[in-house]
Amino acid sequence: MNYWPLLSVAVVVVGFMRRWNPVLVVVAAALTAGFASGLSFTGILAEIGNGFAKNRFLLIIILTLPVLGALERAGLREHAQRWVASRRSLTPGRLMTLYLALRQTAAALGLTSLGGQAQTVRPLLAPMAEASAETLRGGALDDEERQRLRAMAAATDNVGLFFGEDIFLAFGAVLLIQSIYADSGLPMEPLHIALWGIPTAILAFAIHAFRLRRFDRRPGVPPPDRQAHGGSGDA
């Protein structure tokens, strides 16, 4: 076995540690792996072209990034924050629970690209959760609290996607499970596997929704009804 192509892993590690341009790092890693495998420069280009042609659906994700950048420059985050700030009863936990339900339902229908860390969490969900928390507190968040909110928003997206897509019978993991059972002499339909993913998805939703509810009840976070009535009864 030729282990020299593993040098590309070292190229990626060093490049990211030195904070070089990610595109250049990936291209350098691809060239390193190709040359170490004995391919010519034209052969490497041919392999890159074949991989690109087989994964054209990735263009949908790639094209969304400049669109989101333009929307952020036009004030998408600010508009989302102002909208949430006007809904005083919408706590960060309630907001993320609603997103969890939408994300999990869409993933169960195979619409996994409707949300995501880059498409939804960073430009919309996290800023909206921060605005909601600032409205409840009546002031700006410190950096630790802001990072905690962002982490919980990212985790909510992961939970919704991971446990929702297992219900979609054409999902790759479902087909992989079917092939493993078939190799073991246990034929099983993808529909049956997907249906058995529903109880797990429901439990995952309930557990994470409970975590989000506890997240709203941390020390120092006033309840929304108290905030709506102007505090604790000061004259």
**Rounded distance between C-alpha atoms, residue 55 and residue 57, angstroms:** 5
The DSSP call for residue 167 is: T
List the structure tokens of 224. 């929304």
Give mean pLDDT, residues 94-109: 92
Q: Express each pLDDT in 165-206 by its tens digit.
A: 888 877 777 777 788 888 888 888 878 888 888 999 999 999
Helices of type H across the chain: 7-17, 22-36, 41-54, 58-73, 76-85, 92-108, 126-137, 143-165, 172-183, 190-216, 224-228
pLDDT, tens only, 30-73: 899 989 988 888 888 888 777 766 665 555 556 666 666 666 67
Please state the domain extents for the chain: 4-54, 78-228
pLDDT at 111 over 60: yes
Tokens representing 189 are 């339909």
The whole-model pTM stands at: 0.63
Handedness of CA 48, 49, 50, 53 (dihedral sign): positive
Report whether 112 contacts 106 (CB < 8 A): yes
